[in-house]
Amino acid sequence: MIEKGEGNFIWFDRVLKTFLPLGIVLSFINLLFKKGQLNTEIVKVYSIKIIIILLIGYLEGKLEWNFFQKIFGPSVNILSDLRKKYVINTGVLTFGLPLGIINFRVFNESFMFEYVRLSIWLIIGVLFGVILWQKNKKIFEQIIND
């Protein structure tokens, strides 16, 4: 990863290989379950959602690059700091926020309900990140101790 360079890692590995397919697949699945006909307004909304997911992918790639720089850097001894960053990167930015954005209904009468749903997806993302951290914690401890 480090030998690829920061730009290649962020743009190709995270944005194009991970978040673009994620946005397209989530949009397609969401459209399958939508009632009504596909029109230009819905296409515009989902295009904007995919662009937002790509921006999140850039942010997540930048944060993940910094996360791995810290792991392989000489001054890593705080596992809890790495845990917070891992949960935010993996759980919130890679899982919860994209799903929340795709399921956000722009033309709903109650925006408050949509923000509550988005918040629920973010909480689910945090839980997902914590579960993955617990599963992969030993791997990070081994990397840090070596």
Give the predicted TM-score (pTM) of the model. Answer: 0.72
φ/ψ bin of 5: left (φ > 0), alpha (ψ from -120 to 50), beta (otherwise): left
- Max CA separation in the chain (angstroms): 57
Count of domains in the chain? 1
Range of the domain at 110: 2-145
- Give pLDDT, residue 141: 81
Say if CB 83 and CB 102 are below 8 A apart. no
Length of the chain as a residue count? 146
Q: Could you report the average pLDDT of every consecutive run of 10 residues in the chain (146 residues)?
A: 78 89 86 73 86 91 85 67 88 90 77 86 94 90 76
For residues 106 and 101, give the distance between their C-alpha atoms in angstroms, rounded to a whole number: 10
For residues 140 and 85, give the distance between their C-alpha atoms in angstroms, rounded to a whole number: 13
Say if CB 90 and CB 131 are below 8 A apart. no
DSSP annotation of 87: I
